Copies of this chain bind each other. A is one copy, B any other.
Amino acid sequence: MVTVSIVNVTSYTALELLRLLALHPLFVVTSVTGRSAVGKHLGDVFPQLQASPATINPALVITEEPAQTDLAFVCLPHAAAAESVLKLLDRGTKVVDLSADFRLHDVNIYEEWYKHTHPAPALLELTTYGLCELHREQITNASLVANPGCYATAAILALVPAIAAGIISPSIIIDAKSGVSGAGRTPSLTTLYDEVNENINAYSLNGHRHLPEITQELAASAPTGSSSVEGQLRVTFMPHLVPMTRGILATCYADLKQTTLTTEDVHALYEKHYANEPFVHVTDQSPHTKWSYGSNHCFIHPFIDTRTQRLVVISCLDNLVKGASGQALQNANILYDLPETTGLMAPSVYP
């Protein structure tokens, strides 16, 4: 048994972790924290948990600080997360941090995008970016894993095979569409039902904070020996809010270097790239976010727009699962040398 803390349990990512951990054979949640609900029982905040299996105890009392456990999932917003992570590491707790605080290796880029001083810049370079399909070897030996952003996961998984194979030019457009749960559980006018329902709009027009993650990982995926791709990358990332609770669809556009490539060629390239991945599926038709609802699966469809010889790659996933808590659990499985799929094989809920 591995004891587990969930820090900031009143968030949606924490609730999703509880759902996934309920069926996990090894990890047992023994500590939950949440400043706004200190002293309440877990079942007070989430009444549906009284119907959970015994592994999630609705009578667990929410505390301000986590108890000593083997492992912690930190679901705090950035800045607050870093503080909590540093304390947990000090105690010897392994940490999967779902915030952005340790995702960027370059402290300058972090501070440019997040507008505050990082409390542990030295740690940044050492922390593993927990996109399992890219970095599972490093994760195995880590004590801190920075769980990727939801958009970043969708976009990076969509583009890495093409970039690694060197088939596209570095000018890339990522038009991404997300459900509302990515915005969290704190009420605001922009997430009010009446404002979201029957509406779509783009947001973060001046730059969304997942962009530097995407750029960092795409640049690192370029074939060695290639001229500095990072300098060349011209990525426009445009997120949109869609009237649905879960799901991200990323539609990615890039020009092909060679115009002789066919859809079959890129499909084969992607299939080979992800051949052994239990959670990444290369499809031969346009994927629907609903295929991934509630599951840890990511669906990717690459094809050539033959009129323009552009590569288009469409990827989708559930932002709360592969885009957050499912990937966090996948990372934790790796940390504990468990099969990556442990507790994560439930199919999507459809319709």
Contact = CB atoms under 8 A, between A and B. Distances in A.
A116 interface: no
B305 A236 contact: yes
A92 to B, nearest CB: 30
Interface stretch (A102-110, A143-151, A157-165, A181-189): A181-189
B348 A175 contact: no
A22 interface: yes
Given A200-B242, A346-B22, A291 B51 contact: yes
A246 interface: yes
A200 B185 contact: no
Contacts of A179: 198
Contact of A189 (B185, B290, B303): B185
Number of copies of this kind of chain in the complex: 4
Nearest to A280: B51
A99 interface: no
Interface in A184-208: 185, 187-189, 191-203, 205, 207
Contacts of A289: 198-201
Interface residues of A, number: 88
A228 interface: no
A294 B349 contact: yes
25 contacts: A48-B299, A48-B347, A51-B299, A53-B345, A56-B347, A175-B253, A185-B194, A193-B196, A198-B246, A198-B293, A199-B244, A199-B289, A199-B290, A200-B242, A200-B289, A202-B251, A202-B286, A205-B303, A205-B312, A211-B307, A235-B308, A236-B307, A236-B310, A236-B312, A242-B242
Interface of A: 12, 15, 18-19, 22-23, 46-53, 56, 171, 173, 175, 177, 179-181, 185, 187-189, 191-203, 205, 207, 211, 234-236, 238, 240, 242-247, 249, 251, 253, 255, 279, 281, 283, 285-295, 297, 299, 303, 305, 307-308, 310, 312, 314, 316, 345-351
Given A19-B349, A200-B242, A200-B247, 5 more contacts: A22-B345, A177-B177, A192-B192, A198-B290, A201-B287
